[in-house]
A and B are shown apart, each in its own frame.
Chain A
Amino acid sequence: MRLLIGFIFSFLSTVGFGIITNVPRRTLLPAGLTGAIAWIVYLITSQLTSNIIMPNLLAAVTIGLLANAAAMWIKAPVNLLYIPCLVSLVPGAIIYMSLKDFTLGLNGSAEQNLLKTLTIAMALAVGFVIAEAIFYQLKPVLQRWLATSNKKG
């Protein structure tokens, strides 16, 4: 049940961010699905482990693989899918809290949150690198499959 609600809301959130950043309309649905699936991966992994690196890394790998495949499918730059999908994972709230604590003079928690921001962002970025490395191997297979299904269709 929690997963279902999470799925729905992360889908909506991804589509919403897609609208704000003005993505082409044909990318909204694939982006929303990718974002929602990545959020489910995040939720499941974060129940199994207590650190914050693993869930973010796996979610980023999921986004990387699905978004690259979708980008080939709809012929769009992959970044158009990355940007909206990232919105629910990205450490935006934490970097805000960190800078807010600096403004209030709470240097200890500010530094802690800044470090957490960097950790999450690094985990996401490394996740993308891994996903792109995997996808580079899968690409010829997918291309062939797309070509044959186009011929049939």
Chain B
Amino acid sequence: MPATIQTDIIDLCGTVGKILLENGAETPRVETTVEYIGKAAGIDLSCHATMTAIFVDSNSDPTTHLVKVRTGDFNLQKVDEINTLSRRFTNHQINYDQLKAGVTAIDQRVIDFSWWQKILGAGLVSVAPMLLFQATWSDLGLALIVGICGYLATQWIGRHSQTPYIGVGVGGLVIGCLAVGLQLSGLANSADNIIVSALMPLVPGVAVTNSLREIIGKHTISGLVRAVDAVMVAGAIGAGVIVGGALARLLMGGA
């Protein structure tokens, strides 16, 4: 096989891995997908993925391709589309050029639900089933609105700031501020219930569980990276909520 085609395939595999990892696929899936594509394209590949980088290496050649990754938000639709493409490629339903064009298209396209759908989604998540019979119905209704505000604040800050963790921190601040403010103004019964419920879209619960699944699956490094990241996110949220609550008390003049 000519060297240029080989580097081209490795390059494409690096892009595939990068898209998968950036949008929330777990590292074992990234590795197996890349290796399957390599095999179907005709070269024997090894892939190693951690949360921060992907290494793609052809087994017959000493060159290694390294892709740096910055993991961000979940965008599982991209994961699904890459998966469909690679499935069709390994079944020989599409050829290599079609695969390449498809991957490039997915990499550049913005696939997203519309804003109001996302707002609705965040609102639905903010009514936590865990609290259904512990919190009053009016508190849960308020949590829906507070949760939307917190989610929007997080997304907006995340888009305008490069500093990691500041988005979730501000989200926590908004939620803490609103919840304590509502309680002080007498509209809500329990600020704590509203906070816990409204934080559901932001808290890293899924990340904690996925990190443990990866550790059990012997992907220890990425599991630990995910766990530490989750603790940092939770810390940022916790600090944000406390500052927000204090701010609300200061503004409303309550105790």
What is A's interface to B at a CB cutoff of 8 Å? 2, 5-6, 9-10, 12-13, 15-24, 27, 39, 75-77, 79-80, 83, 86-88, 90-93, 95-100, 102-104, 117-118, 121-122, 124-126, 128-129
Contacts and interface: CB of A to CB of B under 8 A. Distances in A.
B132 interface: yes
Given A22-B75, A22-B113, A92-B206, 20 more contacts: A2-B132, A17-B121, A19-B117, A19-B118, A20-B118, A21-B75, A22-B76, A24-B81, A27-B80, A76-B83, A79-B79, A80-B76, A80-B80, A87-B125, A90-B205, A96-B238, A103-B235, A103-B242, A125-B213, A126-B216
Contacts of A24: 76-77, 80-81
B129 A9 contact: yes
28 contacts: A5-B132, A10-B129, A13-B125, A16-B120, A16-B121, A16-B122, A16-B126, A19-B124, A20-B122, A22-B74, A22-B75, A22-B78, A75-B84, A79-B29, A79-B79, A83-B76, A86-B206, A87-B125, A90-B208, A92-B199, A93-B205, A95-B234, A103-B235, A103-B238, A117-B208, A118-B212, A124-B212, A125-B209
B238 A18 contact: no
The residue among B84, B117, B205 with the most chain A CB atoms within 10 A of its own CB is B205
A19 B234 contact: no
Interface string B100-126: 000000000001110001101111111
A5 to B, nearest CB: 6
Contacts of A76: 80, 83
Contacts of B132: 2, 5-6, 9
A125 B111 contact: no
Q: For chain B, what secondary structure do more than half of its interface residues adopt (helix, strand, loop), or is it mixed?
A: helix
A104 B129 contact: no
A5 B128 CA distance: 12
B194 interface: no
Given A18-B121, A24-B76, A102-B235, A124 B209 contact: yes
Contacts of B83: 76-77
Given A98-B234, A100-B238, A128-B213, A9 B205 contact: no
Given A12-B127, A88-B129, A96 B77 contact: no
B241 interface: yes
Contacts, number: 171
A99 B76 contact: no
B107 to A, nearest CB: 15
A13 B129 CA distance: 8
Contacts of B230: 95
B97 to A, nearest CB: 24
Contacts of B206: 83, 86-87, 90, 92
Contact of A13 (B124, B205, B211): B124
Contacts of A104: 242
B148 to A, nearest CB: 11
Contact of B205 (A12, A92, A102): A92
